Structure 1
Amino acid sequence: MIVILAAALRQGMLAIGLVVALAALAPFQALAADLASARAMAGLDTHSLLQRLYGDGQPRRLWNDDQARQALSALRAAPTHGLDPDDYDIAGLETRFGDQHGAGADGFDRALSTAMLAFLTHLRYGRTQPDIALPPQEPGPLPFDPADYLRAALQQQQPLELAIDAAAPPIPLYRRVQASLQQYRDLAAAAPAWRAPAQLRPGAELRLGKAAPGLRLVRQRLILLGDLEPQASVADPDQYSPQLARAIRAFQSRHGLAETGKPGPQTLAALAVPLSHRVRQLELTLERLRWIPPLRPGRVIVVNVAAYRLWAFDTTADSSAEPLEMRVIVGNAARTPTPLFIGQMRYLEFNPYWNVPRSIALGEIVPRLARNSGYLKQQRMELVSPDGKVQRMPAHAALAELRAGTVRVRQTPGAHNVLGAVKFAMPNPMNIYLHSTSAKELFGKARRDLSHGCIRVERPEALAAFVLADQPQWQGPAIAAAMAPGPVRTVRLSESIPVVLFYATAATDRQGRTLFAEDIYQRDNKLMRAMRAN
C-alpha cells in the first residue's frame, strides 16, 4: 500500500460543502443524513443546481453543438472515474442529440445540463454518502458549485475538460488509481477466464531449481500481472526458479501478504481473485477519495485501516520527499473495528496511564477479577475515584464498585502498560487515539486487526519526532529521554495535525504498483450495493 493521500491535499483548500448535513461522530460508525436530503441542504440537488445554472428559469438554450458533443464524450468517459454512464442516461441523450434543433431542443438542453451537473457533483462530492465521519463545514457558499463551473465553461466557450478537472479530487493518488483502473480493465478484457491455480500437495516442499505441479499457471499469472518479466523463461515452466520466487514476493508485497516467496494458500487465493473484482476495488477507492475533504496545507497523518499502514507527510514539502511510513495494528473486525473519521492530534503523553474504557472494564477486567482476586495487582492496575484519587479495597468490593460505575480502572505507566511509552491524543467522542505498544511482536503478523479500536504504531519514536518537528527543544535525544521509564509528561503540539482514518482495499503507489488489501471490515460489498442503488 502506498501513501494514501500522500501529497494529496497539496493543491490548496477545496472544502466540501456536502458535509454540512453530516451528523456528529458516533461510536464505531460514521453517521450521515439521507444523501438526497444532505444534497438538498447543501444546495447540490438537481432543482437548486438547475435554478442557479439557468438563472430566471425562462426557457433558453445554453449548449451549442460542439459543447454538447464534448459533454456526451465526457459522460461516455465516466468509467475512467469509476462511474457509470447509464446513471446519466447517456443512451437517451445520444438519441435525443440528433433532434435537438427541433421541438425538443429546450428539453434536450435541460436534460444535458441535468446530466452534467450530476456528473460534476459526483466527481467532487461522491456518488454515495460517505462512510467516514467528516468534520462540519463552516457556513457559507459552496466552495465548488457545479452550476457556477458549468455556466462559466459554457459562457466562455471553454473546453468542458476544465470544469471536469476542477471537479475531480486534486489528489495525486486519485490520478494514479485511475491509471491502475484502466490497466486492470485491460487485463480483465485480456483474461476473462481466470482459473484458480491448483493448490500444492499438502506437505510438498518447494526447492529452488526443482519443479512442482501447478507452478506453470502461477508463472503465467504473475507475468500477466507484471510481477514477473516475460523473458524470465525456464526450460520447465513448473520449475521453482529464483526469478519466480522474487516475483511471488513482489506479488505478496502488493497484496499485504507474508513475503515468503512461496505460493502458499493465501497467495494462491489472492492469485485466484477475478480481475473483475480488482476493477471494482479500484472503482471503490476512487469513490472513497471523493469523500475526503481537503485539509489545510502542512503536516498530515493518514492511516489506511484496511492495509494496516500509516503515512505521515508534509503537503508543503518537496513532492519527492519520502513520507514516514510504518505498520499499524487496528481494531478487531469482529468486535471493535476502528471507526473512520478525521481527527486533530493535539498533544502527546509520554509514559501515559491507560485509562481503561468502561466497556473493557466490564467486559474483560471484571470477569478476570472475579476469577482471580490478584488480577489488578498482577497487571499493575489501580482503581480511581471520580475525583482522581487512587482507591484501595479488596477484590469483592472492587467488583461491586466497578459494576456500579463508582470507580474506574487505570494501568500505571511502564514497560507493562498496553499503551507503551507514548500516546498520541486526538480528542474525539469515541476515545480513539494512536499509541505505542508493549506487544511489539504483533507487528510481524500479516493480519493485524487486534486492538480494541485504537491504532498501535510500529515506530512511535519516529512519529513523535514528526509531530514535534517544529519544536526545537524536542529533538531525538529529548524524545528518547521522555520515552524512557519515568513520570507522565504531556507535550502540546504547536498546532494540531489532521489524522485521517481511511479505508481502501486498493490503491497505487508512487512507483505505479497497484496494491490490494483484504476487506477486513466487509465494507466493499456495502459500498458496491450503495453505488448500484443511488
Structure 2
Amino acid sequence: MKKKVLFIIIIVLTLSLISFYRDRIENLTIDGTSLAQSQQNKSAFNIDKTAISSFFKQYPSLKKYQPDVTIIYKKRNFKSIWYNRTGLIEFADVLYTKANLLDEEGLNSRLPYKDKFDKLLYDKPINKLSQINTEIMLSTVYVFYAQKVFYGMDTKKIQETGWFIPRKNISYANLLDSLLVNPELLNRNENLVFDQYYKLRDVLKKYRQIEKEGGWNYIDSISQAEELKPNDSSKVIGQIRHWLTINGNLKRDSKLNIYDDEMMAGVLNFKKRNGFKVNYTITYRHIRQMNIPAEERIKTIMINMERCRWIDPKLANANEYVIINIPSFKLVYKKNGKKELESNVFLGQVITETAVFSANINSIVFSPYWNIPKSIIESELKVQMDNDKDYLTKHNIEWNNGNARQKPGINNSLGLVKFIFPNPNGIYLHDTPARNLFDMEYRTFSHGCINVQKAKELAIVILKDNPDWPIDKINNAMKGEKETTCMLKHKIPIHISYFTAWVNDSGEICFYNDIYLRDDHLVELLFSEDS
C-alpha cells in the first residue's frame, strides 16, 4: 500500500514539474520577446525583393526610402516584421500614429500618401492593402519617421548651412530592434538623440500654447536715444511687464506701469536668457527683441531642434570637452559631467565668420608668437606700414623667414596663452589684450579665431591634475618673455556650435541673435516640400 501511495505521489510531482517547466519555457524571453511571441512571429510570412520593388513603383514619392527598407528585411532574412498570428502587432498602430504627428517633433513634414494609407488601413476590408503591401508600407513609414526625427536632413544640406560638426550614424535596422523591444524609445531616446532636443520639444509645446492663446501684444517702441530705468512710469513699462510674464521671466503680472523691484528681477532674467548685457536699462533694442512674434519664436525652436538631430549624444557624454556656442558668445568647459568653467568670448566678424566644426585641443602655448596670416599682411599690415614707417617696431613685430610675426608680450594680439586644435580653418582659442571688447553685447571682432575672456583660468583648470604644470609654472610661462608649449597628455574635444535657441540648466528657453544669418537658410531647407 505504501509503495502504491509513493508511486502516485511521484506521478503527481512529475506532472507538476512538467507543467511548471513548460510554462517557464513558453515565457522565456529572447532579446525582450517571449518564446511564445517568437513562435507567433515565426508564423509570419516572407517578403521578397520583387514585392519591395513593386511597392515602391506603386508609391514613387517614397522611393528614396527603398534602400533602407531593403536593408531592414535583409537583416531579418526577409521575414515580416509587423504581423503575428492575430494580425498587425500593437506597435504598428503606435508607429503610424506618431508618423502623423510630426508637428509635435518640430517638423513641418507630412507622410506621403497619408490620406490613401489612412483609408487602406482603417476603412472597410475591401479597400485594404494586401498583407504584403501593408507590411512594406509600415516598414517604409518607420524609415520615414526615424529619418525625420532621429537623423534629420541629409549631410549635403547640413553643410550648406555651414555646419561641419561630425554627425551621428544610424542603423535603422538596429534601431527597429530596440523599438520593438521597448516602444517607449519612440518617445524619448537619449542614447540616440542629443538631450537638448527633448528640452526644446517641451518648450515648443509651451510656445504653441502661447500662440494658441493669442501670443503677446505689440510693445510700443521708444526712440534709440531713450532708455527706461527703475522707478520710471509709462504705458510701455506695463506692456513690457505683461510680456515678461507670458514669457516666464516674471511669475505674475501686477499690471502696474511702474518699473519696480519685481520688474527689475524679470528684466535681469530676460537679459540673461537673451544674451544681453545684464543691467536694468531697457532700450529700443530690447523692445525690438520682445516684439518678435510667437510664430517666429516657434520657428526658431524648430530649426534648433533640427540642429540637435545632427549631433551624436556621445559628444556631450565625453569625460572632458569644450563647447562654444557662437550666437551666445559663450564657452563652457566640462569635465566628468560637471561645468568647470564658463567664459565670454568674442568671435569672427561677419566677413570672417568663425566656422562650425569639431576638433581636439592637443596643446597650450604660453606667451605665444603671433604668426600673422598672409591675408592680414596684405589687407592690413602693409597699409599700416605705408602710413607709419615705425609701425612694426611699435607693435613688436619682426620678419621671420619672409613672414611677419608679433613677439611674445602683454600687447601681443593673442594675449598670453593660446589653445591649439589642428583644423583646416586655421582657428584656435586665445587670450587677448583687448579686454574692453568683452563688455560689448555683440562681440564679432576677430578674423575668425575665438578670443576667450578667461583664457588663463581655462589653462589652469585644464592643467589642474597635471603635476608637471602647477600654477606657479603657468604664471611664469605667462610673463610674456618666451614662448613655451605644453603638450596635453590627453586631447580634449572642442565643439564650435551654432544654436539660436537653447534651454538652460534651469529649464528656461534662451534666444540668441542669429549673428551670421544662418537661421533663414535653414528655415528654407526645413520647410521646403522635400525636406
Alignment TM-score, normalising by the size of structure 2: 0.79
Alignment of 1:471-486 (within 5 A): 471-486=466-481
| Aligned partner letter, 2:206 | Q
Residue 480 of structure 1: how far off its partner (Å) = 2.1
- Change in CA separation of 1:74 and 1:474 when aligned onto 2, cut-off 3 Å: same
Q: Distance in 1 between matches of 2:403 and 2:439?
A: 33
- Change in CA separation of 1:199 and 1:488 when aligned onto 2, cut-off 3 Å: same
Residue 499 of structure 1: how far off its partner (Å) = 0.5
Q: 1:147 is matched with which residue?
A: 173
- Change in CA separation of 1:434 and 1:90 when aligned onto 2, cut-off 3 Å: farther
% same residue: 25
Q: 2:194 is matched with which residue?
A: 171
SS in structure 2 of the partner of residue 366 of structure 1: helix
- Change in CA separation of 1:73 and 1:466 when aligned onto 2, cut-off 3 Å: farther
C-alpha RMSD of the superposition: 2.5
Q: Does 1:529 align with 2:518?
A: no
- Change in CA separation of 1:167 and 1:201 when aligned onto 2, cut-off 3 Å: closer
Bigger CA radius of gyration? 2
Q: Does 1:84 align with 2:108?
A: yes
| Aligned partner letter, 2:437 | L
Alignment of 1:4-153 (within 5 A): 46-55=65-74, 60=80, 62-63=82-83, 64=88, 66-87=90-111, 90-99=114-123, 102-129=128-155, 130-131=158-159, 132-135=163-166, 144-151=170-177, 153=179
| Aligned partner letter, 1:68 | A
> Unaligned stretches of 5+ in structure 1?
1-43, 386-406
Q: Distance in 2 between matches of 1:99 and 1:61?
A: 22
1:68-125 deviations in Å (ceiling 9; x for gaps)? 2101222234333322351565444333321596344432332222121122133333
Q: Does 1:224 align with 2:240?
A: no
Q: Distance in 2 between matches of 1:58 and 1:205?
A: 70
Residue 167 of structure 1: how far off its partner (Å) = 7.7
Q: Distance in 2 between matches of 1:170 and 1:202?
A: 43
Q: 2:275 is matched with which residue?
A: 256
Query: Are the aligned partners of 2:99 and 2:111 in contact in 1 as well (CA < 8 Å)?
Result: no
Alignment of 1:282-361 (within 5 A): 282-293=301-312, 294-295=314-315, 297-314=318-335, 316-317=336-337, 321-333=338-350, 335-361=351-377
1:396-451 deviations in Å (ceiling 9; x for gaps)? xxxxxxxxxxx211111101100000010001122100000010110010000111
Specify which of 479, 499, 517 is matched with residue 512 of structure 2: 517
Query: Are the aligned partners of 1:345 and 1:499 in contact in 2 as well (CA < 8 Å)?
Result: yes
Query: Are the aligned partners of 2:346 and 2:445 in contact in 1 as well (CA < 8 Å)?
Result: yes
Q: 2:32 is matched with which residue?
A: none
Q: Distance in 2 between matches of 1:207 and 1:46?
A: 58
Specify which of 194, 198, 202 is matched with residue 220 of structure 2: 198
Q: Distance in 2 between matches of 1:161 and 1:515?
A: 29
Q: Does 1:278 align with 2:316?
A: no
Specify which of 435, 442, 446 is matched with residue 440 of structure 1: 435
1:372-397 deviations in Å (ceiling 9; x for gaps)? 22221121111111xxxxxxxxxxxx
Q: Distance in 2 between matches of 1:117 and 1:305?
A: 33
| Aligned partner letter, 1:215 | I
1:4-37 deviations in Å (ceiling 9; x for gaps)? xxxxxxxxxxxxxxxxxxxxxxxxxxxxxxxxxx
| Aligned partner letter, 1:145 | S
- Change in CA separation of 1:324 and 1:207 when aligned onto 2, cut-off 3 Å: closer
Alignment TM-score, normalising by the size of structure 1: 0.79
Higher relative contact order (CA 8 A, sep 6+): 1
- Greater share of helix residues, 1 or 2? 2
Query: Are the aligned partners of 1:51 and 1:57 in contact in 2 as well (CA < 8 Å)?
Result: no
- Change in CA separation of 1:471 and 1:107 when aligned onto 2, cut-off 3 Å: same
Q: 1:495 is matched with which residue?
A: 490
Residue 287 of structure 1: how far off its partner (Å) = 1.3
| Aligned partner letter, 1:507 | W
> Unaligned stretches of 5+ in structure 2?
1-62
Q: Distance in 1 between matches of 2:110 and 2:165?
A: 29
- Change in CA separation of 1:492 and 1:92 when aligned onto 2, cut-off 3 Å: farther
Query: Are the aligned partners of 1:77 and 1:85 in contact in 2 as well (CA < 8 Å)?
Result: no
Query: Are the aligned partners of 1:227 and 1:248 in contact in 2 as well (CA < 8 Å)?
Result: yes
Specify which of 368, 372, 382 is matched with residue 398 of structure 2: 382
Q: Distance in 1 between matches of 2:228 and 2:494?
A: 44
Query: Are the aligned partners of 1:281 and 1:506 in contact in 2 as well (CA < 8 Å)?
Result: yes
Specify which of 208, 218, 235 is matched with residue 185 of structure 1: 208
